[in-house]
């Protein structure tokens, strides 16, 4: 049986090439403090890529979350009071 690349039984020539066994790479050449410094530099680089919300967006998001939490508190309270009344009715 063959596929688009070639025979399944015969591996491709690039698969047969011996692979170099690297030990460590860039991380292997540095000590623990060097790796820690690299880690923190990468953190700072990633934080610079973040698109931070503006003050108005942040206040809008905060308002939406607070309103949602208040609505959910009200919903759970109403359901809890309903169960409380049902238990009182059933068990007297």
- Which H, E and C letters describe the chain, residue by residue? CECCCCECCCCCHHHHCCCCCCCCCCHHHCCHHHHHHHHHHHHHHHHHHCCCCCHHHHHHHHHHHHHHHHHHHHHHHHHHHHHHHHHHHHHC
Comparing 12 with 76, the larger pLDDT belongs to 76
Report how far residue 38's alpha carbon sits from residue 44's, in angstroms, rounded to the nearest whole number.
Answer: 10
In this prediction, residue 74 carries a pLDDT of 98
Q: Judge whether residue 1 has pLDDT over 60.
A: no
Comparing 61 with 9, the larger pLDDT belongs to 61
In this prediction, residue 26 carries a pLDDT of 54
Q: Judge whether residue 11 has pLDDT over 90.
A: no
Answering whether pTM is above 0.75, one says: no
Residue 45 vs residues 8, 31, 41: alpha-carbon distances, Å: 44, 21, 6
Roughly how many angstroms between the first and final C-alpha of the chain, as a whole number? Answer: 76
Q: Judge whether residue 14 has pLDDT over 80.
A: no
């Amino acid at each position: 049986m063959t596929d688009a690349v070639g025979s399944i039984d015969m591996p491709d020539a690039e698969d047969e090439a011996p692979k170099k066994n690297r030990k460590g790479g860039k991380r292997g050449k540095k000590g623990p403090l060097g790796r820690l410094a690299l880690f923190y530099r990468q953190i700072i680089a990633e934080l610079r890529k973040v698109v931070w919300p503006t003050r108005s967006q942040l206040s809008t998001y905060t308002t939406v979350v607070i309103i949602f939490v208040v609505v959910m508190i009200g919903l759970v309270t109403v359901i809890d009071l309903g169960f409380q009344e049902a238990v009182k009715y059933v068990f007297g």
